[in-house]
Amino acid sequence: MNVRKPRIYLISLAGALILLGLYLASLYSYLLFHIIAEIFSIIVAFSIFIISWNSRRFIDNNYFLFIGIAFLFVGLMDLAHTIAYPGMAVLPGSGTNAAAQLWISARYIQGLSLLAAPLLIGRRLRFNWLIPSYGLIVLLLWVSIFYWQNFPACFIEGVGLTAFKKISEYVISLILLGSIFVTFQNRREFDSMVLRLLFAAIIVTIISELFFTLYEHPFGLPNLIGHFLKIVSFYLIYKAIIETGLVRPYDLLFRNLRQSEKRYRDLYEEAPNAYLSVNIKGKIERANRSAAEMLGYSRDDLIGQAALDLYADTPYGKAKAEGVFKRFMAGEEIRDEELEMRRTDGSSVWINLSVRPIRDKDGQVIASRSEVVDITEHKRLDQLKDDFIGLVSHELRSPMTVITGAINTVLTESERLSPAETRQLLKDAALESESLSHMLGNLLELSRVQANRLSLFTEAISVRKVIEDTVDNIKRRSSVHHFITDLPEKLPPVYADELRLERILYNLLENAVKYSPQGGDIKVSVQADKERLIIGVSDQGVGISASDQARLFEPFQRLEESRPDVTGGVGLGLMVCRRLVEAHGGQIWVESEPGRGSTFFFTLPLNQG
Ligand code: ADP
């Protein structure tokens, strides 16, 4: 609407200029004015017909088609009126009276059509009788005026306008008022803007009619103003038709198109995977948001880039991409190739690439569409798993070395060894076997979790006994630590899997021993509230930084890389703890200050079982 506003001023200005021009023409010759004014409204009337006729497929409102057809004949009638106008001397029998008769006929047709049109809304229009009927009426009127000459007189020389003419103008005004009323009753069928145009047109017509009751002779001022107003009213109807038949349908059409275009763009734009369109020269033509985000480019920077330049300078990067490029240029469809790309910040992105070649109608490959899936995280986990297997094998080997060494020594050197030494060797072997079996136990738990086969055997257990047994067990592994248990007098019974609870505690205590190499207190405490037990295991060891705390319970996380001074395990214990605690419906977390020790907490719900 805003866009149209300046046009309204322009159109009004042009309209004013035309009317002014007409006025000037009337000063020179009223006949000239009349011809131009009438031809103008005749052109508009014919245009109304042509537009409504040709846009009849878009318009679901019969009103306008009917009006269009009516205006064709109104235009023809007005043409006859112009030709018969006094001073034209073209038709025999023409003159002021005939012109006025034709005029009044035209206005009756116009008024009655405007009155009838709203009544036709929603009905089928039968053109095959409508157009001939109008034609017949117009023909009969012509014959009546020129040949039979039995049409009531409208103008008598020396007397002026007849009563018939004047009354007719009033009757026509009433008909027009009636048409406003009927149209208003059907206002739901019209766009509000169109309705306003229509009403304005009809009201202007009424005013114009009233001017035509006033003139004394056909060249006076009221006649001039009447013709001006007629032009304006025809123009307003023409606007209403344009609006209904052209502007609205196209708006609607384009709106639908825009909507469906937007839907597809959204689908492409907001797809979770990256999409790239690459042309025959290997340059990127289109890229969706995921693509830009994945590679860290702005869209503008991405478009126009050579696709190959986006790959890393590694065997799985550019080198492999060149091979893939050749293959799809040869017409092959590429599926699930793993490649390494390079982000703007220099880091690498592993991707899974599928490419479909696009061909022209001769089958020649002219472009390609690629789907790119970011598998960096996947690759990282794969790598972690590989590292993990290496670490686990390594970790399993060191206790095995101790065990086999001790047993072999006892076996081969039994005579030389004192009973105390033999005992010590066997004790070492037993301790290491225990830690070996514990580690294998953790591995088994992990594989159960991975396979979704972790099931608990819960029963009412004594948490006190599990804690005391596990602490006793771990005590044998360390002589430098001081173990404390801080348990309330009365502990509510808990439903839990005893062996799993033991494993959780063992893992936490083993870590407490391992990560406080200088010794110190290791304390197990229990608090109970209404819903849960909170069990804490604290040490006075190296502690864990806040950023490390966040990833501690994730799979295969070892913090050793960032803490080279501490020898570590394989990053299995805490993950198993978390899975087992969560399987019990509890939570696990850590509170720690680097250098001052850590406390691991976990909860067990009390309302189980
Ligand atoms: P690991 O076999 O490496 O001990 P865990 O899953 O038990 O595996 O622990 C993961 C990491 O968390 C450890 O490598 C260690 O860096 C850190 N961590 C665990 N417990 C403690 C603790 N009590 N004090 C300091 N760091 C700890």
What integer pLDDT is reported at residue 558 of this predicted model? 64
Whose CA is closest to atom 15 on ligand 1?
559
Mean pLDDT score, 188-214: 89
- Closest to 82 (Cα-Cα) out of 146, 36, 45, 50: 36
Mean pLDDT score, 501-527: 94
Point out the least confidently predicted range of 85-89, 280-284, 347-351. 85-89
Mean pLDDT score, 82-105: 86
pTM flag (> 0.85): no
Say if residue 179's pLDDT is above 90: yes
Pick the atom of ligand 1 nearest to 542's CA. 25
Say if residue 9's pLDDT is above 80: yes
Whose CA is closest to atom 16 on ligand 1?
559
Kindly state if the Cβ of 425 falls inside 6 Å of ligand 1. Answer: no
Kindly state if the Cβ of 594 falls inside 6 Å of ligand 1. Answer: no
Q: How far is the CA of 355 from the centre of ligand 1 (A)?
A: 44
d(CA 494, CA 488): 14
Mean pLDDT score, 44-55: 90
Kindly state if the Cβ of 540 falls inside 6 Å of ligand 1. Answer: no
Per the structure block, which two tokens stand in for 189?
Answer: 């069928």
Q: Which of the two residues, 158 and 165, has the higher pLDDT score?
A: 165
In this prediction, what percent of the chain has a pLDDT beyond 90? 56
Mean pLDDT score, 473-481: 89
Q: How confident is the model at residue 258 (pLDDT cuts 50, 70, 90)?
A: confident
Q: How far is the CA of 353 from the centre of ligand 1 (A)?
A: 38
Kindly state if the Cβ of 208 falls inside 6 Å of ligand 1. Answer: no
Q: How far is the CA of 347 from the centre of ligand 1 (A)?
A: 28
> Which residues 6+ apart lie within 8 Å of 464 measured at CB?
487, 491
Structure letter (DSSP) for residue 349: E
Q: How far is the CA of 511 from the centre of ligand 1 (A)?
A: 6
Mutate to test the pocket of ligand 1, among 515, 548, 563, 581 (most ligand atoms within 8 A of CB): 515
- Closest to 316 (Cα-Cα) out of 354, 351, 292: 351
Q: How far is the CA of 130 from the centre of ligand 1 (A)?
A: 94
Whose CA is closest to atom 25 on ligand 1?
543
Say if residue 410's pLDDT is above 90: yes
- Is residue 605 exposed (0-12), middle (13-18) or buried (19+ Cβ within 10 Å)? middle
In degrees and rounded to multiples of 5, residue 520 shows phi and psi of 105, -175
DSSP one-letter string for 447-502:
HHHHTT------EEE-HHHHHHHHHHHHHTT-SSEEEEEE--S----EEE-HHHHH
Q: Which of the two residues, 226 and 6, has the higher pLDDT score?
A: 226
Whose CA is closest to atom 8 on ligand 1?
571
Kindly state if the Cβ of 570 falls inside 6 Å of ligand 1. Answer: yes
What integer pLDDT is reported at residue 342 of this predicted model? 94
Q: How far is the CA of 573 from the centre of ligand 1 (A)?
A: 7
Mutate to test the pocket of ligand 1, among 504, 574, 580 (most ligand atoms within 8 A of CB): 574
d(CA 457, CA 141): 106
Say if residue 316's pLDDT is above 60: yes
What integer pLDDT is reported at residue 132 of this predicted model? 94
What integer pLDDT is reported at residue 241 of this predicted model? 82
Say if residue 565's pLDDT is above 90: no
Q: How confident is the model at residue 194 (pLDDT cuts 50, 70, 90)?
A: confident
Q: How far is the CA of 457 from the centre of ligand 1 (A)?
A: 27
Kindly state if the Cβ of 539 falls inside 6 Å of ligand 1. Answer: yes
What integer pLDDT is reported at residue 420 of this predicted model? 95
In this prediction, what percent of the chain has a pLDDT beyond 70? 95
Kindly state if the Cβ of 204 falls inside 6 Å of ligand 1. Answer: no
Say if residue 445's pLDDT is above 80: yes
Kindly state if the Cβ of 537 falls inside 6 Å of ligand 1. Answer: no
Whether residue 368 contacts residue 326, with contact meaning beta carbons closer than 8 Å, is answered with no
Structure letter (DSSP) for residue 544: -
- Closest to 99 (Cα-Cα) out of 132, 115, 123, 77: 77
Whether residue 368 contacts residue 356, with contact meaning beta carbons closer than 8 Å, is answered with yes
Q: How confident is the model at residue 1 (pLDDT cuts 50, 70, 90)?
A: very low
User: CA–CA distance from 122 to each of 243, 244, 495 (Å)?
Assistant: 20, 16, 76
Kindly state if the Cβ of 512 falls inside 6 Å of ligand 1. Answer: yes
Say if residue 27's pLDDT is above 90: no
Say if residue 564's pLDDT is above 60: no
Q: How far is the CA of 558 from the centre of ligand 1 (A)?
A: 7
DSSP one-letter string for 68-134:
HHHHHHHHHHHHHHHHTSTT---STT-SHHHHHHHHHHHHHHHHHHHHHGGGGTTSPP-HHHHHHHH
Q: How far is the CA of 553 from the centre of ligand 1 (A)?
A: 9
Q: Which of 89-93, 388-392, 444-448 has the highest mean pLDDT?
A: 444-448
Mean pLDDT score, 172-184: 95
- Mean pLDDT of the chain, nearest integer: 89
Please report, to the nearest 10 degrees, the dihedral formed by the alpha carbons of residues 435, 440, 441, 447 taken in order. 150
Task: Give me the half-sphere count of Cα atoms (radius 13 Å) on the Cβ side of residue 290.
Answer: 17
Say if residue 429's pLDDT is above 90: yes
- Closest to 208 (Cα-Cα) out of 98, 103, 66: 103
Q: How far is the CA of 525 from the centre of ligand 1 (A)?
A: 20
Pick the atom of ligand 1 nearest to 537's CA. 23
Pick the atom of ligand 1 nearest to 395's CA. 2
Q: In angstroms, how far is CA 389 from the centroid of its own chain?
A: 44
Kindly state if the Cβ of 520 falls inside 6 Å of ligand 1. Answer: no
The two most distant CA atoms of the chain are separated, in Å, by 161
Q: How far is the CA of 512 from the centre of ligand 1 (A)?
A: 8
Q: Each residue of 576-594: b (16+ CB within 10 Å) or e?
A: bbbbbbebbebebebebee
Kindly state if the Cβ of 536 falls inside 6 Å of ligand 1. Answer: no
What integer pLDDT is reported at residue 557 of this predicted model? 66
- Is residue 465 exposed (0-12), middle (13-18) or buried (19+ Cβ within 10 Å)? exposed
Q: Pairing state of beta strands 459-461 and 284-287?
A: unpaired
> Which residues 6+ apart lie within 8 Å of 418 measured at CB?
none
Q: How far is the CA of 402 from the centre of ligand 1 (A)?
A: 23
What integer pLDDT is reported at residue 459 of this predicted model? 93
Pick the atom of ligand 1 nearest to 516's CA. 24
- Is residue 487 exposed (0-12), middle (13-18) or buried (19+ Cβ within 10 Å)? middle
Kindly state if the Cβ of 544 falls inside 6 Å of ligand 1. Answer: yes
The three-state secondary structure class of 137 is: helix
d(CA 202, CA 284): 60
What integer pLDDT is reported at residue 568 of this predicted model? 57
Q: How confident is the model at residue 395 (pLDDT cuts 50, 70, 90)?
A: confident
Q: How confident is the model at residue 551 (pLDDT cuts 50, 70, 90)?
A: confident
Kindly state if the Cβ of 541 falls inside 6 Å of ligand 1. Answer: yes
Mutate to test the pocket of ligand 1, among 384, 509, 511 (most ligand atoms within 8 A of CB): 511
